Structure 1
Amino acid sequence: MIPHVSRPLRAVAVAACAMLAGCAQLSPDAGFDRLAQTSTERLGQAPAWNRTPEQGQASQDRVTRLLQADGSAGPTATRLTSADDAVQIALINNPELQAAFAELGVAEADLVQAGRLPNPGFSFARTHAGDDIKIERSLSLGLMRLLTMPATARIQQRRFEQVRLSLAARVLALAAQTRQAYYQAVAAQQGLTYQQQVADTADAAHELAAQMARLGNISKLDAAREQFFYGQAQASLQQAQRLAAQDKETLARLLGLAPDFALPAQLPALPAQLDALGDVEQQALQQRLDVQAARTELEGLQGSLGLTRATRLVNVLDLGALRTSESGKPPEIGYEISIEIPLFDWGQARVAKAEAIYLQGAHKLAGAVLDARAQARLAWRQRQDAYALARRYRDQLLPLRQRIAEENLLRYNGML
């Protein structure tokens, strides 16, 4: 039983508790829609979180549709035709990404828990002395936890936002890795096709040189050169086969699939020119999700530090209502307050720990900003160099290799 208070005040207290309890509710998707929206804005493609068997089956059906049937390779063969399809498959089928999405549910559960009212405590005691019976009842509530609930909820809200940003950054990173792995696998397969052609030419030249050497039509030096070229071509072919299998396995692992799908025979054509990117460093600082996550984490740590400092001396404060009944006497009604006395622990260690964690977060943010700037500059330079190198291969080296192959073929035909 609680001490007597006016009915309006009691109604207000009950309504306030109901409102506080009602605000802390789990969402159906744990905030996944916002993460998917971020992915759609950045990539034009959205991930899927397979939380139920029905959602998992829907994702598998979509993977089947994205892997187009390849009738030329058999009735059950499939072909992955574009990098965009590869990225979409990874976003809905990569098992490591699916496991990471569970962090969103954990963070939301912590957020909801921080907004829940603490459970009250009830105690009952019955004593007797002869015929006299004494009954004590008390109902208590953790007042300190109730007072710090708004601050704790804000801290958990920032942590939830930080987890969401970190997962969104992981989605973008997986998309970039998958796109790179797709192009690398196609390039390795195209290189294998070229090395197979070189090996076939070297095999024919080696066989002809061996016949001519037995007849004495070429010198031992020329025969040795042809034999060396043949051995080198076979070694290059083995290396190309290994790289093609390795790169395809890497792609399949990112997709969450077995490497039994076919790939295009060659890479898409180079663009006529690269798009202008503007100030890449400024864009990185504004758009990098890991930088935003580090900044949000630091804000949460700042709130935790303030809460720790505010509660360093008084960390436990309970308020309770009492009712005592004793034989032959009227009931006694009152209240009790329980407080922790900071006699041995003044909270310095907790404050020092919070300060160290906050300082660590500040340095992490500074490091994330520094990494973002450096990686943006390096990525821009690599993009320019890769485009220039690809154009050099397309315009100069590949035509020369084609001419050499044609001349070798003419030479071989002329020796027949």
Structure 2
Amino acid sequence: MYRVPFVLLAALVACVPSRSELRSPVDADLAKRLGAPAIVDGSNAQVAALLERPIDRENAVKIALANNPRLRAAFADLGIAGGEFAEAIGLGPLDVGLDLRFGGKTPEGNRLYEVELDVVQNLIGLVTAPRLRAAARADLAAARATAAATALRLAGKVEMAFHDLIAAQQELELRRTAFDAADAAATVRERMHDAGNTSDLAQARDRDAREQARVDLGRAEANVEVAREQLNALLGLSGDQTKWTAAGTLADLPAAAPALDDLETAAVAASLDLKSGTSSVEGAANRAGAEGLRAFLPDFGVGVSVVNHGAGLEIGPALRFGFPLFDQRAGQRARANARLARAEHERTAIAVELRANARATRITALAAYQEARHLRDVVLPLRQQIVDQTLLHYNAMDANPFELIVARRQLADAGHQYLDALRRYWNATSEVLALRRGVSLGAVAPIPMGGDAADEPSTH
């Protein structure tokens, strides 16, 4: 007997969803959450057009959404989820068996043969199909939420990376100005020293200030290049595409501190990660239920059997049974239940971490706002006043040059602190916006302590 099994699709209902069917809900959700249509996986021409002029924060986000390869990979996962969905809603394969039997010969000399054809459809899938289809729908919903979250998270990271780059460029300008001033002061001091009008100590102090300014300038130049490369990675740019320039400066503080009392509630309500986690729990629960049914139900197939004895056809029903006497799918059930437990714990972890991150973001944003405003309105004017008064005393020969150097250094330090606080405020604002859009960037960092204490002025 020769049995030739092969697989046929039982029905055409297992069609794979089209790309537009998979993507349309995600695109609509992104447009709603971003407040504008988002072009994900755009063309090279679109990216090139945006790179022709200096890019701002909004265009940087557009480039990333259109060009980031990791985002494209995340959206490709939708196709995987769509294929699994199509597989789950199908009835399963037909089992086709062909038996050929050859015997002796008839008195007339013809060879005796028998052909038996069985076509059987396993119907156990009809019992588990509702749960498996519900699981597939939940998995597809989770994949869509994950794809949208990936895009929104990328947008938030690009905004923060852009703030870092702009702040690094502004810091570089401050360091250049500081170096030029230190270099000029050291040059004048050298001329005075050559003329015998100043001490070796004063010359050494000015040279030391210049070399420290040179070190700070080198660091600032490196920070700009590093910030550019970090943004290049997020934008998906390489080669000649990396020759872009960035436009603008960090915006000043708003007149009032942001209203963030509802941030935790809004973040939970909008969270795509929670939505994906809930869908994953739903999918795992339905699969665990399907495995529970399969454990104690026999495989049951119904079909048709056709036999040809050479003298005519015989047609009748065909039944197949498989009883779970020795294999009650204990391993599959344990695995499904463990996956359900894991999904539930992960959803709980997402909720706990999301709430904590929202509270921390609120603290960070308000603290950065208060710090930047205090530096701008109180510390910087006070440091400028100290420089002005020290200069008057220096001109009146009532203060030594080192006191003036320290006063100017303290003013510059306050400027650096203000710029850093402003950068941290706008980055925290991007985190706030991301939470309201439905994702957490996880970018909350400890608030840095104050800058290096300046040396006390010497009176000797």
TM-score, normalization by structure 2: 0.76
In 1, the alpha carbon distance for the partners of 2:249 and 2:156 equals: 20
Measured after TM superposition, the shift of residue 152 of structure 1 is: 1.6
- Output the CA distance in 1 between the equivalents of 2:137 and 2:39: 23
Structure-1 separation of matches of 2:46 and 2:325: 64
Indicate the residue corresponding to 1:73 in structure 2: none
Aligned residues: 379
Alpha carbons of structure 1 residues 390 and 260: separation in structure 2 relative to 1, 3 Å? farther
Match of 1:263 among 240, 246, 249: 246
Q: Name the residue aligned to 1:174.
A: 154
Q: Distance in 1 between matches of 2:220 and 2:298?
A: 66
Distance of 1:65 and 1:393 partners within structure 2: 40
> Partners of 1:340 and 1:287 in 2: how far apart?
48
The equivalent position to 1:299 in structure 2, one of 268, 282, 285, is 282
- In the alignment, the residues of structure 2 paired with residue 133 and residue 65 of structure 1 have an alpha-carbon distance, to the nearest angstrom, of 74
State the distance in 1 between where 2:177 and 2:390 align: 12
Within-5 A mapping of 1:5-404: 21-22=12-13, 24-50=15-41, 56=42, 59-67=43-51, 69=52, 78-80=53-55, 82-131=56-105, 132-257=112-237, 258-264=241-247, 266-314=249-297, 316-328=299-311, 331-399=313-381
Post-superposition shift, 1:24? 3.6
Q: Which runs of 5+ in 1 are unaligned?
A: 1-16, 51-55, 70-77
CA distance in 2, matches of 1:23, 1:349: 28
Amino acid at match of 2:69: P
Letter in 1 for 2:194: R
1:344, 1:223 → 2: CA distance?
93
How far off its partner does 1:142 sit? 2.0
What is the alpha-carbon distance in structure 2 between the residues aligned to residue 60 and residue 304 of structure 1? 42
Q: 1:263 corresponds to which letter in structure 2?
A: A
Give 1:217 deviation, angstroms: 1.4
For 2:211 and 2:385, locate their aligned partners in 1 and report how far apart those are by CA, in whole Å: 22
Verify the 8 A CA contact 1:140 1:321 in the aligned structure 2. Answer: yes
Give 1:287 deviation, angstroms: 0.8
Where structure 2 has 5 or more consecutive residues not aligned to the other structure, the ranges are: 1-8, 106-111, 402-460
| Cα distance change, pair 253–405 in 1 and its aligned pair in 2 (3 A) | farther
Are 2:128 and 2:293, in contact at CA under 8 Å, matched by a contact in 1? no
Q: Taking structure 1 as reference, are residues 315 and 37 closer, same or farther at Cα in structure 2, changes over 3 Å only? A: farther
> Could you report, residue by residue, the CA deviation over 1:86-141 in whole angstroms, capped at 9, with x for unpaired residues?
11111111111112110011101111222233332322222132123222111111
Contact 1:297–1:361 (CA under 8 A) maintained in structure 2:
yes
- TM-superposed deviation, 1:406: 8.0
Distance apart, 1:265 and its partner CA: 5.0
Taking the aligned partners of 2:289 and 2:213, their CA distance within structure 1 comes to 69
CA drift of 1:267 comes to: 1.6
Query: SS in structure 2 opposite 1:26?
Result: coil
Contact persistence 1:30–1:105 (CA under 8 A): no
Q: Supply the AA of the counterpart residue of 1:374.
A: A
Could you list the per-position Cα deviations for residues 126-163 of structure 1 after superposition, in whole angstroms to 9, with x for gaps in the alignment? Answer: 21321232221111112222443332221111000001
Q: Quick check: 2:131–2:289 contact (8 Å CA) kept in 1?
A: no
The one-letter code matched in structure 1 to 2:46 is: R
> Shift in Å at residue 316 of structure 1?
3.4
For the residues of structure 2 that align with 1:322 and 1:341, how far apart are their CA atoms?
A: 21
Alpha-carbon contact 2:16-2:85 (below 8 Å) kept: no
**Structure 2 CA distance, aligned partners of 1:225 and 1:265?**
37
CA offset digits 1:71-90 (Å, max 9, x no partner): xxxxxxx311x211111111
1:319-356 deviations in Å (ceiling 9; x for gaps): 2311222245x643322322223232222222111111
Q: Distance in 2 between matches of 1:316 and 1:225?
A: 90
Amino acid of the structure 1 residue aligned with 2:270: Q
Cα 1:242/1:153, change in 2 over 3 Å:
same
Instruction: Label 1:240 to 1:189 Cα distance change in 2 as closer, same or farther (>3 A).
Output: same
Assess, with a 3 A threshold, how the Cα gap between structure 1 residues 240 and 409 changes in structure 2: closer, same or farther.
farther
8 A contact 1:46–1:88 mirrored in 2 = no
Q: 2:22 corresponds to which letter in structure 1?
A: G
Structure 1 match to 2:109: none
Contact 2:135 2:287 in 1 (8 A): yes
Cα distance in 2, alignment partners of residues 407 and 242 from structure 1: 35
